[in-house]
Amino acid sequence: MKANRKRIPIVAANWKMNKTCAETVAYLSRLLYSLEELNGTVEILIFPPFTALRTATTYLENERKTDIFPLIGAQNMHWELKGAYTGEVSLVMLLELGIKHVILGHSERRRIFNETNDIVLKKVKAAAAHGVVPLICVGETLEERNEKKTEEVLKNQLVDILEFFKESGFNDFIIAYEPVWAIGTGIAASPEEANDACRFIRALVGSYLSPEVASRIRILYGGSIDENNFEGFLLEPDIDGGLVGSASLDVEKFVKLIRMAVKHA
């Protein structure tokens, strides 16, 4: 049964530490060629590595051929605009490239680079202050899930951010539910499990902000999405698309996912 929603689905590609500038051009060329025949309302977000951002934005600026047009976002950012932060990239640098979306709080940033909820909050505040849409990732580990702490973890990861949104009036954001145990493992949550978590997140947004904001905020699922399971997630009423990892690196596979989203838009 098709989900009854008014929200525009999102299909987002997180390339992580993959693809050179040359590979980026080849990918985008093939992607645009494949999108020409598509009709329907979906939003496509692509998050290349920092080194390929200028290449991606410049290429797309010169190749506008379709109404279904991908937007380029960044995989991370620092909360300060400048300073002695070796190896970091600021919002000023991203804005110069026309970047309007950024992934924040991804589990790999939290786990590998020790980003805390406080750090994610600082980044969200900085993005909001400059009109950049944060794609905020949340999710529990397998141990937390087995201990039935999923909702507790999701609330802990979101409560301070939602408090900030309430105080500031900022409500242009996207949330991705990415259970840590499903990222890169090939083991996806079931559509029903993912929808339960997304429904909880939407209710949380409603309780801190408003039912109106909760009804229009897009909540994505991420974690071992592929062409065999994505449609099941799209059919769930509280899932508005996907944040895709490894399957997004293959343009043909990614186009299949986009076609599914168009079908259910």
Number of domains making up the chain: 1
What is the rounded average pLDDT of the residues 30-37? 87
Provide the whole-model pTM. 0.95
- Parent domain of 242: 10-263
Q: Is residue 3 part of a domain?
A: no
Is residue 258 in a domain? yes
**115 included as an active-site residue:** no
In a domain, 162, yes or no: yes
Can you give the CATH number for the domain in which 174 is found?
Answer: 3.20.20.70
User: CA Rg, the chain, in Å?
Assistant: 17
pLDDT digits (tens, 9 = 90+) for 207-220: 999 999 999 999 99
pLDDT tens by residue, 152-208: 999 999 999 999 999 999 999 999 999 998 877 778 889 999 999 999 999 999 999
Q: Is the predicted pLDDT of residue 36 greater than 90, yes or no?
A: no
Average pLDDT over residues 16-24: 98
Q: Which of 43, 140, 178, 236 is catalytic?
A: 178
**178 is known as an active-site residue:** yes
* Cβ neighbours of 106 (radius 10 Å): 28
* 4 within some domain: no
Look at residue 199 and tell me if it is in a domain.
yes
**Rounded CA gap, 248 and 121, in Å?**
27
pLDDT at 253: 97
**What is the reported pLDDT for 155?**
98
Which of 101, 106, 108, 236 is the catalytic position?
Answer: 106
Task: Report whether pLDDT(132) > 70.
Answer: yes
Task: Give me the pLDDT at residue 1, please.
Answer: 38
Residue 5 lies in a domain: no
48 lies in a domain? yes
Q: How far apart are CA 204 and CA 177, in angstroms?
A: 13
- pLDDT for 185 equals 78
